[in-house]
Structure 1
Amino acid sequence: MGSMVRAAGLRGLPTLVDDLGGDGRALFAAHGVDAALTDTDDAVMPSLVAGRLLEAAAADRDCPDLGLRLAARQDTAILGPLAIAIENSATLGEALDCASRFLFVHSPALTIAQVADPSGRPGVVGLRYGSTEMDPMPPQVCDNGLGLLHRITVLLSGGRYGLRSVHLTHRPLAPVACYTEFFGADVRFGQPAAVLRVPVSVTEARVDGANRVLREVALDYMRAHFPAPEQPLDEQVRRLITQSLGSSPADIAAVARRLQTHPRTLQRRLAAAGTTFDQLQDGVRRETAHRLITTTDLPFSQVTAMVGLTEQSALTRAVRRWFGKSPRDLRRDG
């Protein structure tokens, strides 16, 4: 059975379908879902059903930018208790970290992570939106999720936040102007991941009206009522390495801090699980390098930085060890 998502994630969709000349309740009913659930705060539905509903609504109303239109009608309220913690974070960086750690409260299948800039520009980082169940994400899910992340960032920052460009994983479904008007920035299609490219300094921006007490109350509530999905230690470490790769230290000390443990303790626990930190890090680098080399045209110098290596020669040696060929040959044979 797949994971679930809060029905509030589709809040506004029945009305949007109605406004486009359709019947929102009937559309939901055809997929076995009561449209009224979207107005509740605790109802859930299968993530895959939610994704199919978005795609079906877009097809039914011949509305290729439906995901963006829905995002324009939504705000942090669809996130329930997570919204309180996000809105009362002191900075955007703190809000993003909170969203990254607790997005499972909204849906275990969705992820938000700060990653290295896909274009390799200094002073720029990526805010990546993804799914552990839908790869690639359906276009409307991608548009709605990244569109909502953009909208929430605008709301928290009080306006423009320096968005450099937007990466989407699919081809343009509507006129490109629909996307650039929504995001207010250049939009690139057919990219490996859904990403907002933003200045590193955006994480330091203050959130007006933040209340530390309310934030802690919300965090305590989520910890008590929504225990994080159990995940093997090696998977936790792999996830943290992946999130940090190329943008911040991904050594064992940094990962141990995120897991609130001592590096030596982490080493012992990984050994008991039959692996080591270096093996996990090497595996993440291998998978990331293969994806970037075979699915993008990024210069190898940028791939080097994005997998956390300092010299292109180190990438060449690693790729030969992993795949028995040079980066250039791997890209050619793809």
Structure 2
Amino acid sequence: MAYVRSAGVRGVRSVIESLGGNADVLARRSGLPEGALDDDEILVQDVAIGVLLETAAAELHCPDFGLRVALEQDLSMLGPLAVAIQNARTATQALEMTSKYMFFHARSLEISIIDDPTGEPGVLGVRYGYRDNDVRMPPQAADMALLFVHRSISRLLGANYGLRSVLLPFQPKASPTRYRELFGAPVEPDSDDAVLRMPAALLDRPIESGGHTAQELALRYIERRVMSTGESMSERTRDMLRQSLDTGASTIAETAKLLAVSPRTLQRTLAREHTSFSAILDDVRREVATRLVTTTDLPLYQIASALALSDVTTFSQYARRWWGVTAREFRATAR
């Protein structure tokens, strides 16, 4: 048994309710903690997710339930990893980062590049599954995961990226027509793994939306999270602002995007932790300003820029509120 971020069940509520079911009852019966269907950051047992998907599919008579949920999901559910992937330079880099940092989303799962299981030259496989090869994903979970990966690749490389076929480690639950409609490629059952087969040449294809700064911020954030477990959202927000402030990313919308949550989720979670985005931003600005004013000779206009403030006049207003004197007077006193 392992734990994954509750982002993995994003979309489940809307699909259940569209079929006339009671999402909260099904979630509770499946062992999900309260709030997991509406919050991306709750730790959920992977077994509970599998039970929820299979139970919902059976009781709501919906064999393509996992596929429907995948249609409600996008890359943002991977958290900061999504920011890094979307700003990769090539498909190879995107897949390498996903393989390396997938633990941030779910420590027991992985995406890996494998040799084509059918042995066709010039073709490779993208496998999604448990790190332990002896553990199998439930059918609905595998459907959901494979369609999510396919849609993510389509977003990065284009809808017609060349998918050859989809390998499923079970007999298809939905109709072949449904799979073909969603994947645009044939589905082959009873494989050893859940695999998307595609041209090997795709690995060198550039991703036009790549942005180096955003990628570096996301990867640095993930690396720091590796060293600290159980961080609160306020700690994560503070950490991200420390890294991104001098790039001008100081709004709740920009910070939420780097944290890969919605601004509303960020506000709601910070409120539960008895703080707010504006309070954290002010603390981080004061912390950075104190260090730069007292330990460097940077001109005040440069410090204002590093604090993501519009000009020196605005910085002076902040300085009087923080220290009771102007920034120049504070610097002189510190010296």
* TM-score normalized by the length of structure 1: 0.65
User: C-alpha deviations, 1:33-55, integer Å up to 9, x for none?
Assistant: 35632332321111111111111
Instruction: Supply the AA of the counterpart residue of 2:67.
Output: L
Q: Does the 8 Å contact 1:81/1:218 carry over to 2?
A: yes
Matched, 1:196 2:196: yes
- Count of residue pairs the alignment pairs up: 228
The alpha-carbon distance between structure 1 residues 227 and 113, as it changes in their structure 2 partners (threshold 3 A), is: farther
Asked which structure has the greater CA Rg, the reply is: 2
Instruction: Supply the AA of the counterpart residue of 2:199.
Output: P
Q: Does the 8 Å contact 2:112/2:126 carry over to 1?
A: yes
Give runs of aligned pairs for residues 1-334 of structure 1, distance below 5 A.
2-34=1-33, 36-132=35-131, 135-227=135-227
For residues 38 and 81 of structure 1, the distance between their equivalents in structure 2, rounded to whole angstroms, comes to 20
Shift of 1:193: 0.9
Shift of 1:57: 1.2
Shift of 1:66: 0.8
Secondary structure in 1 matching 2:71: helix
Instruction: Give the stretch that moved more between structures: 22-31 or 9-18.
Output: 22-31
For residues 158 and 147 of structure 1, the distance between their equivalents in structure 2, rounded to whole angstroms, comes to 15
Secondary structure in 1 matching 2:94: helix
For residues 68 and 55 of structure 1, the distance between their equivalents in structure 2, rounded to whole angstroms, comes to 12
For residues 226 and 98 of structure 2, the distance between their equivalents in structure 1, rounded to whole angstroms, comes to 14
Instruction: Supply the AA of the counterpart residue of 2:9.
Output: L
For residues 179 and 154 of structure 1, the distance between their equivalents in structure 2, rounded to whole angstroms, comes to 16
User: C-alpha deviations, 1:138-193, integer Å up to 9, x for none?
Assistant: 10111111111101000111321100111000102121111111100011001111
Shift of 1:98: 0.6
For residues 165 and 32 of structure 1, the distance between their equivalents in structure 2, rounded to whole angstroms, comes to 34
Instruction: Supply the AA of the counterpart residue of 1:115.
Output: I
Shift of 1:89: 0.5
Q: Does the 8 Å contact 2:6/2:44 carry over to 1?
A: yes
Q: Does the 8 Å contact 2:30/2:49 carry over to 1?
A: no
Q: Does the 8 Å contact 1:9/1:38 carry over to 2?
A: no
**Could you list the runs of 5+ residues in structure 2 that have no partner in the other structure?**
230-335
For residues 227 and 2 of structure 2, the distance between their equivalents in structure 1, rounded to whole angstroms, comes to 15
Shift of 1:228: 10
For residues 135 and 3 of structure 1, the distance between their equivalents in structure 2, rounded to whole angstroms, comes to 12
Q: Does the 8 Å contact 1:104/1:228 carry over to 2?
A: no
Secondary structure in 2 matching 1:120: coil
Secondary structure in 1 matching 2:136: coil
The alpha-carbon distance between structure 1 residues 213 and 129, as it changes in their structure 2 partners (threshold 3 A), is: same
- 1:235 is matched with none
User: C-alpha deviations, 1:53-88, integer Å up to 9, x for none?
Assistant: 111111121111111111111110111111111111
The alpha-carbon distance between structure 1 residues 35 and 147, as it changes in their structure 2 partners (threshold 3 A), is: farther
Shift of 1:227: 4.3
Secondary structure in 2 matching 1:145: helix
User: After TM superposition, what 4+ stretches of structure 1 lie above 6 angstroms from structure 2?
Assistant: none
For residues 22 and 41 of structure 1, the distance between their equivalents in structure 2, rounded to whole angstroms, comes to 21
Q: Does the 8 Å contact 2:112/2:128 carry over to 1?
A: yes
For residues 158 and 179 of structure 2, the distance between their equivalents in structure 1, rounded to whole angstroms, comes to 21
- 1:234 is matched with none
Q: Does the 8 Å contact 1:91/1:206 carry over to 2?
A: yes
Q: Does the 8 Å contact 1:24/1:35 carry over to 2?
A: no
The alpha-carbon distance between structure 1 residues 115 and 227, as it changes in their structure 2 partners (threshold 3 A), is: farther
For residues 34 and 20 of structure 2, the distance between their equivalents in structure 1, rounded to whole angstroms, comes to 16
- 2:317 is matched with none
For residues 87 and 38 of structure 2, the distance between their equivalents in structure 1, rounded to whole angstroms, comes to 23
Q: Does the 8 Å contact 1:88/1:215 carry over to 2?
A: yes
For residues 26 and 208 of structure 2, the distance between their equivalents in structure 1, rounded to whole angstroms, comes to 39
The alignment yields a C-alpha RMSD, in angstroms, of 1.7
For residues 66 and 196 of structure 2, the distance between their equivalents in structure 1, rounded to whole angstroms, comes to 16
The alpha-carbon distance between structure 1 residues 52 and 96, as it changes in their structure 2 partners (threshold 3 A), is: same
For residues 228 and 107 of structure 1, the distance between their equivalents in structure 2, rounded to whole angstroms, comes to 16
